[in-house]
C-alpha cells in the first residue's frame, strides 16, 4: 500500500493573467498536484514552464503537503521528461536529482493516457471552476498577489465537504494519507543547473561571465558543471574534482585555487601590491613612486604585477642605484612611467647624465630653415 501512493501532476496554461508595470498582459501557467486517495490538492501559478519553475513547484508542493509521496506520476512535458518511454523514460537531470534527494520515484504517465492520472485530471476540472472562474474578473500586477489569491481559494477548496461522502479533502488527508507520506528532509532541495563546459588555456571554466579554476591538466577536456545559487561543482567522468562558492556582482571575477595552477604560475599568486611596494621602497623613494604609479594605472591591480616585476628585476642587471636614478628621470618626464620608459632610460644610459650636462635640444630636421630676427625687421 505504501508504494501505491502517487501524486499525479498537471501543468496547464490558464486564462488568468498578471499585468506588468508596462501594461503588458502576461500569461500564467497553473501547476496542479493531487494525492490519489484524499484528492488533497496543491495549486500554484508560474510565469513560465521552464526547469526552474517545474522544480520549484514540486518543492513547494512537498512543503505544503508536509511530506513526500513515494511515487510521482507527472505528464510527459519536456521540462521533466527528456524522452518519453513507458518502460525506461529518460528524465531531466535536475528533475531526477530532485527525486533522489526526496527519496521518491518518478513514473511518468503514458502519452495521451489521462487515466494514468485520473485524480489530477479531475482536480484540474474542479480547479477551473473553483479558482480560475472565481478570479477571472480580477487583475493582478505581481505574481505574488496572484498566488496569494489562489492559495486562499485553495484553502477553501481543500476544506470544502464532499457531497457524496463524509469529510473533506483536508480531513481525509490528515486521517488516511498523511501517515504514509515520507518525512521532509531537514532542508528543501536547492535547484541545480547542469552545464557542459570546457576549461580554456588559463585552466578556468566560464559561467555567467565569471571564472572558476580546475586542475591545469584538465585544460580542453569537457567538464560536467553543476551550478546552484551558492556553489559551482565541477565533475569529470562522474567524479567531482573541485567546487567553488558561486560569484555574484560585477562580471569578470576569478575564483582560483592555487593548487590548480601550473608550477610557473604559482609564484605570481603569492604576490600582492604591498609586497611590490615594499620591495621598491627598499631600492629608493623614486622607485617606490614609480611602482605605485604602475599599479594605479591598471583598473585591475593584478594586471600591473608583471610590469612591476619587470621594473624591479632591472636592479639585477643594472644595479639598485641606476634603477633609482632611472625612475627619478622617468618621473621627471611623466607622472605615470611604464616599464618600457624605465628600461629605455637604462639602455641608453640617460640615468648617468646630469641635467646640466644634457646637450641642447636640436630640431629633428637638420635642413630646416629658421628665419632670424633680422628677416622680420627688414620691412619696418
Q: Is residue 186 assigned to a domain?
A: no
Considering 131, 154, 180, which residue would you say is the last residue of a domain?
A: 180
Task: Give the number of residues written for the chain.
Answer: 380
More confident residue, 353 or 322: 322
pLDDT band at 368 (very low <50, low <70, confident <90, very high): very low
Mean pLDDT along residues 275-286 = 91
Cell of 6: 502517487
Q: Tell me the per-residue pLDDT of 126-172, one tens digit each, with 9 for 90 and over.
A: 888 888 888 888 888 888 888 999 999 999 999 999 888 888 999 99
Nearest-angstrom CA–CA distance, 128 and 134: 9
pLDDT band at 27 (very low <50, low <70, confident <90, very high): confident
Considering 262, 294, 309, which residue would you say is the last residue of a domain?
A: 262
The answer to whether the beta carbons of residues 73 and 8 sit under 8 Å apart is yes
Are 308 and 343 within one domain? yes
- Whether the pLDDT of residue 28 is over 70: the answer is yes
pLDDT band at 40 (very low <50, low <70, confident <90, very high): very high
Are 149 and 229 within one domain? no
DSSP codes joined into one string, 322-346 = HHHHHHHHHHHH-SS--HHHHHHHH
Q: Which of 43-57, 105-119, 337-351 has the lowest mean pLDDT?
A: 105-119
SS3 64: helix
pLDDT band at 74 (very low <50, low <70, confident <90, very high): confident
Q: Tell me the per-residue pLDDT of 221-275, one tens digit each, with 9 for 90 and over.
A: 999 999 987 899 999 988 999 999 988 877 888 888 888 877 766 655 566 788 8
Domain residues for 323?
A: 271-357
Considering 145, 180, 215, which residue would you say is the last residue of a domain?
A: 180
Q: Tell me the per-residue pLDDT of 285-330, one tens digit each, with 9 for 90 and over.
A: 999 999 999 888 876 666 678 788 889 889 988 999 999 999 999 9
**Number of domains observed in the structure of the chain:** 3
- Whether the pLDDT of residue 182 is over 70: the answer is yes
- Whether the pLDDT of residue 47 is over 70: the answer is yes
Are 141 and 198 within one domain? no
Rounded to the nearest integer, the mean pLDDT of the chain is: 80
The answer to whether the beta carbons of residues 97 and 188 sit under 8 Å apart is no
Beta bridge partner(s), residue 197: 223
- Whether the pLDDT of residue 194 is over 90: the answer is no
Amino acid at each position: 500500500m505504501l508504494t501505491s501512493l502517487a501524486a499525479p501532476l498537471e501543468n496547464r496554461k490558464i486564462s488568468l493573467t498578471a499585468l506588468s508595470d508596462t501594461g503588458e498582459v502576461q500569461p500564467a501557467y497553473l501547476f496542479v498536484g493531487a494525492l490519489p486517495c484524499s484528492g488533497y490538492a496543491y495549486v500554484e501559478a508560474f510565469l513560465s514552464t521552464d526547469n526552474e519553475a517545474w522544480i520549484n513547484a514540486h518543492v513547494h508542493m512537498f512543503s505544503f503537503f508536509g511530506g513526500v509521496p513515494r511515487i510521482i506520476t507527472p505528464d510527459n512535458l519536456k521540462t521533466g521528461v527528456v524522452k518519453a518511454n513507458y518502460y525506461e523514460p529518460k528524465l531531466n537531470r535536475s528533475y531526477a536529482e530532485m527525486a533522489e534527494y526526496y527519496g521518491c520515484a518518478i513514473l511518468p504517465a503514458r502519452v495521451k493516457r489521462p487515466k494514468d492520472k485520473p485524480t489530477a485530471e479531475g482536480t484540474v476540472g474542479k480547479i477551473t471552476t473553483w479558482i480560475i472562474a472565481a478570479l477571472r474578473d480580477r487583475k493582478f500586477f505581481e505574481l505574488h498577489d496572484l498566488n496569494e489569491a489562489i492559495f486562499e481559494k485553495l484553502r477553501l477548496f481543500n476544506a470544502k465537504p464532499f457531497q457524496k461522502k463524509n469529510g473533506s479533502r483536508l480531513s481525509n488527508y490528515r486521517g488516511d494519507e498523511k501517515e504514509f507520506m515520507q518525512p521532509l528532509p531537514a532542508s528543501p532541495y536547492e535547484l541545480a543547473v547542469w552545464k557542459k563546459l570546457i576549461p580554456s588555456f588559463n585552466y578556468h571554466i566560464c559561467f555567467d561571465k565569471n571564472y572558476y579554476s580546475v586542475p591545469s591538466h584538465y585544460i580542453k577536456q569537457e567538464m560536467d558543471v553543476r551550478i546552484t545559487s551558492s556553489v559551482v561543482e565541477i565533475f569529470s567522468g562522474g567524479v567531482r574534482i573541485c567546487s567553488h562558492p558561486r560569484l555574484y556582482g560585477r562580471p569578470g571575477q576569478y575564483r582560483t585555487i592555487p593548487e590548480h595552477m601550473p608550477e610557473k604560475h604559482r609564484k605570481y599568486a603569492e604576490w600582492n601590491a604591498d609586497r611590490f611596494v615594499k620591495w621598491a621602497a627598499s631600492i629608493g623613494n623614486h622607485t617606490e613612486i614609480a611602482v605605485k604609479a604602475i599599479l594605479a594605472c591598471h583598473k585591475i591591480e593584478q594586471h600591473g604585477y608583471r610590469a612591476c616585476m619587470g621594473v624591479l628585476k632591472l636592479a639585477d642587471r643594472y644595479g639598485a642605484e641606476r634603477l633609482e636614478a632611472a625612475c627619478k628621470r622617468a618621473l621627471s618626464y611623466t607622472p605615470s612611467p611604464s616599464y618600457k620608459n624605465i628600461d629605455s632610460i637604462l639602455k641608453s644610459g640617460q640615468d648617468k647624465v646630469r641635467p646640466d650636462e644634457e646637450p641642447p635640444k636640436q630640431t629633428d630636421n637638420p635642413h630646416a630653415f629658421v628665419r632670424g630676427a633680422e628677416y622680420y625687421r627688414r620691412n619696418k
